[in-house]
Amino acid sequence: MYSCEILNKYNLKYLIWLNSKRHNFNKLNMDFMDEFKKDNMLKKLLIKKNVHLLKYDNKYIGFIWVKKENSKETYNINCIEMCKEFFFDTNTYNMLLESFKSAKTFMYKCEKNLYNYEILKKLNFEEIEGNYELEISLEKYFELKHFQNIKVEALVKSKEEEIRCYIQNEVFHKDGRIPIAVDDIYYDETQSYYVDDGSLFIKLNNEAIGYGQLIFKGGLPFVVNFGLLSKYRGNGYGKYFLQYILNYIKSIGYDKAYINVDIKNSIAINLYKSVGFVESKECCLWKKII
């Protein structure tokens, strides 16, 4: 017989065991115990209400940890996990979801493996947006094509943030996207991942026509915020700019680099693959409306 329980001091030890297995379903599942240890007593009491365990007879077989959004009816799933005997039984996942009576919508970010996407589809989750993580081996430097009046220069702090802001908002404009502000750029420049010499403009006749950036995530070099203004695309500038950034990454001692791209952006994917990037991971944001 199945039953759901809210996290308490009696079942905490079973939650700890299930939490240790959380990457079986999704490598992006958050570590509940890491978060729990940081909280004070009041926050621990509140967070417990957002963790439900599923029990079959006398055995704890799964759990879900959620966080409410501004809308009390929308829940972000931080982690969901099921032990292997019940892994492919969608009824068990549904019981955990249905244990949150006030929920109208669930959101969940998931890295694809051999089975989790199919399980989510059977649970009537819908893919909202997704991206690939691509990687490239930097075995040798790229031989850069020569373009007249084209050069790459680092962003000058306290002078060119508005230019970067304009380019990024133009390059990544789409319906529903909130434009970034100059203050967002200044904040970015204060972060530990930020690399002064890796914040780059590509310029034509001394006018910035694109932007690209090197940051470090988990000690790995990622190319982010990469793109050209639309009227300058199709001339080979994008490939030149990307290869320039990759050469810079190699010059500072790295033999691999990474980039993320929207799975629907076939033009960008083709560009990245043309210089040698290959797919390494796929992640999607999923939504389920009750």
Q: What is the pLDDT of residues 19-31, one digit of tens each?
A: 999 999 999 999 9
Q: What's the CA gap between 108 and 28, in Å, rounded?
A: 10
pLDDT at 86: 96
Q: Which candidate, 167, 154, 157, 91, places its Cα nearest to that of 124?
A: 91
pLDDT at 30: 96
Q: What's the CA gap between 109 and 202, in Å, rounded?
A: 33
Mean pLDDT computed over 269-284: 97
pLDDT bin (cut points 50, 70, 90) of residue 69 is confident
pLDDT in tens, 101-131: 999 999 999 999 999 999 999 999 999 999 9
pLDDT at 187: 96
Give, in order, the Cα–Cα distances in Å from 9 to each of 127, 230, 277, 278. Answer: 36, 57, 48, 46
pLDDT at 37: 83
Mean pLDDT computed over 94-104: 95
pLDDT bin (cut points 50, 70, 90) of residue 35 is confident
Which range has the worst mean pLDDT, 86-95, 169-178, 279-288?
169-178
pLDDT at 174: 81
Mean pLDDT computed over 168-197: 92
What's the angle, vertex CA 279, arms to CA 275 and CA 282, rounded to 5? 140
Mean pLDDT computed over 91-105: 95
Q: Please, what are the domains in the chain?
A: 2-124 (3.40.630.30), 134-282 (3.40.630.30)
Q: What's the CA gap between 273 and 279, in Å, rounded?
A: 9
Q: What's the CA gap between 124 and 286, in Å, rounded?
A: 10
Q: What is the mean pLDDT of the chain?
A: 95
pLDDT in tens, 43-60: 777 789 999 999 999 899
pLDDT bin (cut points 50, 70, 90) of residue 71 is low
Residues of the chain with pLDDT > 90: what percent?
Answer: 90
The strand pairing partners of 153, in sequence order, are: 201
Helices and strands (H, E) in the chain, number of each type: 9, 12
pLDDT at 93: 98
pTM, to two decimals: 0.81
